[in-house]
Amino acid sequence: MSTGKDNINRIFKSKDNFDYNSNFLVKILIGVVTIIIVSVFLPSYKNIESNYEVGTIWSSEDLIAPFPFPIYRDETDYEIEKKEAIKTVTTVFLERDMSRGEIADSVSAFFSLLDKILSKSGRDNFRKLKETSQVELSENQWQSVIKYFTGEVKSSPNVSYVTFKNSLKQFILDFTRFKIINLDKSAVQRKEIAVKRNGDKHQILEDIDKIYDIKQINIIYRNRFTPILKDTSIVY
């Protein structure tokens, strides 16, 4: 009876008669050796699935979820982190490309519409034109403007509606030289803002102390016109 050792010796005893392609036992040996080598180099089940601890940072390859999912955070922590993040971000404003001449034309068009409304003698025509216009005044303010327009009331010292209108137009044009933002400056967290012009890829940093907001403009307007108006309801 031949043993396994005898079979192996019989296979390899002659190199000239050995056929690597047709010998079935050699093929089996090659397959077994290949499986062993592959098994050694592949990670084990434990390495793939179990080599982590709850609460630790994942340091292996990127994990990609097969579906989107929300990340739940504590609302208080989220608000705190959001406020801290806002403080580090420079607020960006888009500059309106409008020349001083265009602003002057816009102001003139506004007062032309206002004069047209005030000159309507018929109550129905006046109400209709007032509702279709974009002049935002309360009913008391409308009545005050009408009184100045008709000369029933004059400001001191004898400031007529025409004088007041021209002064207001000049006041608006004077402020076209300044930079005004449509956001309360108290909402800006940093000492500077970024201004982006149309067609320009770069942003210009501006000192927030050199910028005006709408609240500041209103205060300056009230301080300038309140002393000359008898009826201050037109100012506020």
What pLDDT, in 10s, does the model give residues 146-199?
Answer: 777 777 766 666 677 788 788 888 888 888 888 888 889 988 888 898 888 877
What pLDDT, in 10s, does the model give residues 74-120?
Answer: 888 888 888 888 788 888 888 887 777 788 888 888 788 878 777 76
Decide if pLDDT at 26 tops 70.
no
Number of other CB atoms surrounding residue 181 within 10 Å: 19
- Angle 115-116-117 (CA atoms, 0-180°, nearest 5)? 90
Q: pLDDT tier at 62 (50, 70, 90 boundaries)?
A: confident
Q: pLDDT tier at 16 (50, 70, 90 boundaries)?
A: low
Decide if pLDDT at 233 tops 80.
no
Decide if pLDDT at 1 tops 60.
no
Using DSSP, state whether 46 is helix, strand or coil. Answer: helix
Decide if pLDDT at 21 tops 60.
no
State the pLDDT at residue 56: 67
Decide if pLDDT at 14 tops 60.
no
Angle between the 161-174 and 214-225 helix axes, to the nearest 10 degrees? 150
State the pLDDT at residue 166: 85
State the pLDDT at residue 223: 85
Instruction: Give me 203's structure tokens.
Output: 């942003």
What pLDDT, in 10s, does the model give residues 211-232?
Answer: 999 899 888 888 887 777 666 6
Q: pLDDT tier at 49 (50, 70, 90 boundaries)?
A: low
Phi, psi of 205 (to 5 degrees): -85, 135
Decide if pLDDT at 122 tops 60.
no
C-alpha 123/C-alpha 217 separation (Å) is: 34
State the pLDDT at residue 226: 77
